[in-house]
Each structure stands twice: as C-alpha cells, then as structure tokens.
Amino acid sequence: MRTIPVTMATQHPDNACPSPFTGKRFVASSEEIDECYRCFSELGVHEYMWDWEGKLVDEAVIDRLYQNYFDYFKKHQIGKNIFLTFRIPNVWVEKTHRLPRSLINVFAAEHAARQYGFHIPPIFELILPMTTSAEQLKQMQERFHRIAEAAESIFDMPSEFKFLDVIPLFESVETMEEAPRIMSDYLDYLRDTHALVPEYFRVFIARSDPAMNAGLLPTVLAVKKLIADSHELGEKRGIRMYPWVGGGSLPFRGGINPEYVDETIEQYTGAQSLTIQSAFRSDYPLDDVKKAIRKLNKEIPKNIDRYEKVNEKDSEKISLFNARAARFFTDTITPLADVINDVASALPSHRERAQHIGLFGYSRGVGGIQLPRAIKFTGAFYSLGIPPELIATGRALKIAREMGIMNLLERLYVNLKKDLVHAGKFLNKENLELLMGGDARFNVLAEDISLIEEYVEKDLGPEKQRHFLHRNHTSNIYHLWKGNSEFADDALAAAKYRKSLG
C-alpha cells in the first residue's frame, strides 16, 4: 500500500504577498521548478500539483528536478516518498493542445527516472478537472493506454505501466450529487474491461468553484456529503477511499490557512488530503506555515474514519436545501457580472496563465455569463468590502430554519458561525449603503447581513486594527472605482490585510 499524501502544494495564485522563495508576488513558469523543490524540502508538503490546466508550464519538469536537485531527489524519491501529480486539461470543456503533451510527458518522466536510476514511475496519477461523467474517466484511461502502445512502437519507449490513476475532480454542487454514481460506473469499467480492482481510490473535491456557482452553505454541505458518500461507496466495494479537498485561505474558498489549522482539521474530518495554496505559503510568517503543515500532515490522517455520516433522509433534505439556496446566490450574482469583472480587472495575476474560461462561462443555467476565476471573483467582492461568504447566506439560513435542518447544517458545517464572524470583520457597511443607494441590484444584501447578524448574535464589521485598515482601503476602492480612477494599489493593500488575494 502506497503512502497517500496529506498536503499538496498547488500553483493557485491567491497570494497577496511575495513568495518566500523568490521575494516576488509573480511566479514565472521558469521559477516553478525551484518552487516545487522548496515546497518539498523546506515546507514539508507531501505532494505538488503540476498544473497543465489553463496555465503555462515547464514540460521538462522531471528532468529539471532531477538535474538541479539530484542529491535531494535521490533520497526523496518522486512517486514513492513524495509525489508530483499532473492536473490535465478537460478537453470536453476546453479544447486544447496541452492534453497530449501532458500525457506524453508521463512517459518521458518514466524514462528520465530510469536514466537517473530513480523510482519508476515517478508520475502515475492525473487529475481530471471538471469531471462530469464516468465516460470522461474511461476515455482518459483508454487514451493513455493507446499512447503507451504508440510510445513503445514508434519511439521505442516501453513502459512498465499501462494504466494511470485518473482522479476525478468534482467542481460543482450538481456534479458532487452525481459523483457516487460516476465513480461507481468508472470502477465497474476498470473491473469489467481491464480486470482491475484498485486497492484505493482518490477523489478530489473542489471548494472554490462550487462556492462561486452556488454560494457558501450549499458548497460546504455538498462537500461533506460527498466525503461521506465516497467512504460509503468504498465500504461497499472493498476499496479504501481517500477524499481530497481543494481549498484556499479565505472561508469562501475553504478556510485552509496557518491560523485556522485546528478548525480545518475538524471541518474536514473524513478527508485524507488538503491543498496548500499560494496564500497559505506566502501571506503568513514562514515559521507558522511550516508548523501548520507539520500539524496537518500528522493530524489529518487520524480523522479519515471520523467522517460525518449522512443518511438517506438527510441527503434528500440537503439536495432540496442546496437547490433553493443556490438559486438565491446565482440570482444575486448574475446581474452583478459587470461589476465583478470590472473590479476584478484591477487585481494582479501572479502566474503565467493561458486563456481560460471560468465555470460561469460554461452552460450552467446562469445565462452563459462570464466571470473571473474563483480567486479574482472572491477578491473583487472583498475589495468592495462585501465578503462573498455573506451573499445569499442570510436567506439560506432562513430557509434552513423553515426546513428544520439547522442541526444538520451545524453538524456538517462545524465552523459556520466562526467563518461568518471572520468574514464579517471585513464587511464595509458604508460601502454597501452607497452601493445600494446607487444600484438596486445590491439591495438584497441588506437582508442577508441582517439575518446573519441575528444568527451569530453580533453586529458584523471590523474589530481589530487590520480590519479597520482593510475597511479604509475598500472605502478608497469604492470611491476611486466610481470615479473611474485607478485603485489597484488599494486593492492589493487590502488583500495583504486579509492575507489572501481572494
């Protein structure tokens, strides 16, 4: 049985402060090799995501790691002790030339490892983003099998393995509902077509993109339900399941940060792996980052069998609640697309991204509107002094009370009050009043704020110095934005105070 990673460093560019490795906020693709090495050697993460989806990458990653840091990787073998995992493009959503390059790179990595005398294969897992069907997983497996045959016959590159571990990444509340069926169908395919019954199965569960499509509460409930469903599927199949949650630092995107370690451990019981994104690594003192990663590596695996079970009756209630609550969120967000895109445009980009369409750009029942990716989406609202955690959440809490599921909600979302109070410290009520005074689209947020304050039994707003300083910058942003003036400096300054770009 292989070692299953607990912490994975990713290339998500949500940092507001410079990287501790380069001293710069922007990390060029040529610098990601060193970043990968140092995340392993200095931070102590178990895994690093090499992201082919929507960004430029160094395709010679394995060769460069082995050549540049031979002694380290001789002692810490990639694919055995530590892990490099590719996230590949989903060609059913976005046509791209990067998919075949990433698959061929798997074979090149295997032969590079053989040449250096290192563990084979160094790369054997691929993450398929935006998975929506078992057929996608099947086709990825078949494509890899055909490429393996072609590499051997055409390039004389025989491979010692013909099958990849294709890890589904579920990125919407709707597909999380379908995920157990999708995984079951794929496991049937492996058994029936290839006589393969895996000893374990990793399932990747997104926290950011579902939130920007459905809101905070539906996303958290969907994530917790899928963790439970995954374990139940594994028990039926005799397969060890390893759920994996991908989230950022702010509560809207997962609340995974060095100051929130104990809360993170408790919130994600049942999960084996968590992402360590750029803000986690860059926006907190380095010693705190290392200490937090050590604690996560130690404590998270202890709780994998402590997942909160969800019975059939509760599952039905969650589905009904999520559908209603998500509608509140999308009906609020959709009309504000122009505002979100305008404010987000002032936020910096910290990686060399290729053009990519966010989930709102795909057909998801929101009119085909296009919005920025989750980091800038979140950062845009925070820049206006309106944490997106609060949007539609008050009305969703009201629905939860009417449905009689508050106990269920609080059992599954154990940090609910803490998260709302934390986000509420960055609320700028003066900005909201000004926005409502000039734009009726914002009026519904007043109801959300009032209902949340009733629930947490306190007024939302700044409490400590950094919250007041954040508020001051968001006030500047509002007035500069309305006056068609540049506000990028204030936007970045505010991000530093909340310790994440978005």
What's the confidence (pLDDT) of residue 358? 43
- Sequence spans of domains, the chain: 7-306, 312-498
Q: Please state, in angstroms and rounded to a whole number, the distance separating the CA atoms of residues 481 and 466.
A: 22
Q: Which residue ranges of the chain lie beneath pLDDT 50?
A: 355-367
* Helix 312-333, helix 393-403: angle, nearest 10: 150
Q: Please state, in angstroms and rounded to a whole number, the distance separating the CA atoms of residues 127 and 96.
A: 16
CATH architecture type of domain 7-306: Alpha-Beta Barrel (3.20)
Number of H helices, E strands in the chain: 21, 8
pTM of the predicted structure, to 2 decimals: 0.95
Both tokens of residue 447?
């109801």
Are residues 432 and 447 in contact, defined by beta-carbon separation less than 8 angstroms? no
What's the confidence (pLDDT) of residue 367? 47
Are residues 209 and 169 in contact, defined by beta-carbon separation less than 8 angstroms? no
pLDDT digits (tens, 9 = 90+) for 165-211: 999 999 999 999 999 999 999 999 999 999 999 999 999 999 999 99
Q: Please state, in angstroms and rounded to a whole number, the distance separating the CA atoms of residues 154 and 356.
A: 33
Q: What backbone torsions phi and psi does residue 9 show, to the nearest 5 degrees?
A: -75, 135
What's the confidence (pLDDT) of residue 91? 84
Q: β-strands 125-128, 165-170: how paired?
A: parallel
* Helix 465-482, helix 488-498: angle, nearest 10: 160
What's the confidence (pLDDT) of residue 360? 43
Compute CA distances 237 → 2, 127, 184, 200, 351, whole Å: 19, 22, 9, 10, 41
User: Which residues are CB-neighbours of 480 under 8 A, at least 6 positions away?
Assistant: 486, 487, 490
